[in-house]
Amino acid sequence: MPMVSVTLMDGDRQFRKAEIGLGGREAPRKDSFCDVTIRQEGTLVVEDAAADAAFAQNPFVMGDPHLRFYAGHPLQAPGGEQVGTLCIIDTEPRTLDERGRSLLRELALWVQAELTDADELDHATVVQRAMLPARTPTVPGYTLAAAAAPAGHLLGDVYDWQLLDGRLRVALADVMGKGAGPAIIASAVRASLRTAPERDLATAMGEIDRMLEDDIGGSNIFVTAVAADIDVATGAVEFVDAGHSLAFVLRAGGDWAPFHSTGLPLGMGFDETRTTSAAQLEPGDVFMVCSDGLLDILDPADPFRHVHDAIRSLGPDGAAREATRLAAERGAPDDVTVLVVRRDA
């Protein structure tokens, strides 16, 4: 066949989402053979349009592309509505036997399944983004910023922040892998952290550990995470690092102080007792935690200098946005998530 198209319809246009031989991605819906196809059930086959009374005067027969043969099968949306077609077209009359009709139907169902999967993935992406923090807390004396960029459609990282009785609780978790499974687990981790916020960090992280072991133990999926409580008045920090090792304080003088890992990743099944460690944010200090995807896009010769310069020149919000910009520009192979808290005074 010299012409083939996967076509979707709106009120007055047809959009060729993929096509060969038709020379354009958009055409009027009026008088189109695809419009006729989605108004009926089953496959439409016109073997010689010029000899068919219903189509002989059609502008697509009398004019470009001078269509003679057409075979199209409807494509359905997830709700069952017929919204497009898979069609094959020729400028010469042809016949299509039962085997050919069956093959066209099979191919149309395959295209329909792909479109449904894409629709479900788009919906999942919207839902997941809605589950990230909707707004940044206003914390007098502090500047907060965060950004996340998935390597694919769905994010296997999650971040969160809450202002609770004079303390700012921040967290970042990175689920091993990419795709729908890690995205579901990441959302569950954030939901668990938000449950009963009066719990101390060690208890909260220990309960996530047990939840993951009970629910996905044996699946070889684990989660690295950092959760920290920052006393807004004093800058005192309590934190739990579960195998993440990517949390730091950039001191006002330019030195880096890492938050050393205090335990194994969550969900590894070793029944680990989680304990808190302490740090201090002085005025001008910046607390930053990131996922390991950030390492893929930093200057490999001097990543700390790269981050230092971004924070100092762009501020927390600009630095977070710069991370996602670089992720898109450089095609980061892994999710990139950054959370930054600066103590201003």
Based on DSSP, count helices (H) and strands (E) in the chain, helices before strands: 6, 16
Residues of the chain with CATH 3.60.40.10: 135-343
pLDDT higher than threshold 60 for residue 124: no
Cβ(138)–Cβ(340) below 8 Å: no
The pair of three-digit structure tokens given for residue 270, joined into one six-digit string: 């070793």
Mean pLDDT of the chain: 89
Per DSSP, helices labelled H in the chain are 33-38, 59-62, 98-130, 180-194, 201-216, 303-329
Residues 123 and 97: their CA atoms lie apart, in Å, by 39
Beta bridge partners of 242: 225, 263
The CATH class that applies to domain 3-126 reads alpha beta
Residues 287 and 228: their CA atoms lie apart, in Å, by 10
Average pLDDT of span 119-124: 60
- pLDDT score, position 151: 83
Q: Which fold has domain 135-343?
A: Phosphatase 2c; domain 1 (3.60.40)
Q: What is the pLDDT of residues 46-104, one digit of tens each?
A: 999 999 999 999 999 999 889 999 999 999 887 778 899 999 999 999 999 999 999 99
Average pLDDT of span 112-125: 68
User: Between the CA of residue 281 and those of 57, 102, 233, 278, 311, what are the distances in Å?
Assistant: 79, 69, 11, 10, 16
Q: Which of 132, 182, 137 has the alpha carbon at shortest distance from 156?
A: 182
Residues of the chain with CATH 3.30.450.40: 3-126
Q: Name, in order, each residue with C-beta under 8 angstroms of 44's C-beta and a sequence gap of 6 or more.
A: 33, 36, 37, 70, 71, 72, 73
User: Between the CA of residue 155 and those of 185, 186, 208, 298, what are the distances in Å?
Assistant: 10, 8, 19, 20
Model pTM score: 0.66
Cβ(101)–Cβ(45) below 8 Å: yes
Comparing 125-139, 232-246, 312-326, which segment has the lowest mean pLDDT?
125-139
Residues 291 and 179: their CA atoms lie apart, in Å, by 16
**Per-residue burial over 53-75, b = 16 or more CB atoms within 10 Å of its CB, e = otherwise:** eebeebebbeeeeebbbbbbbbb
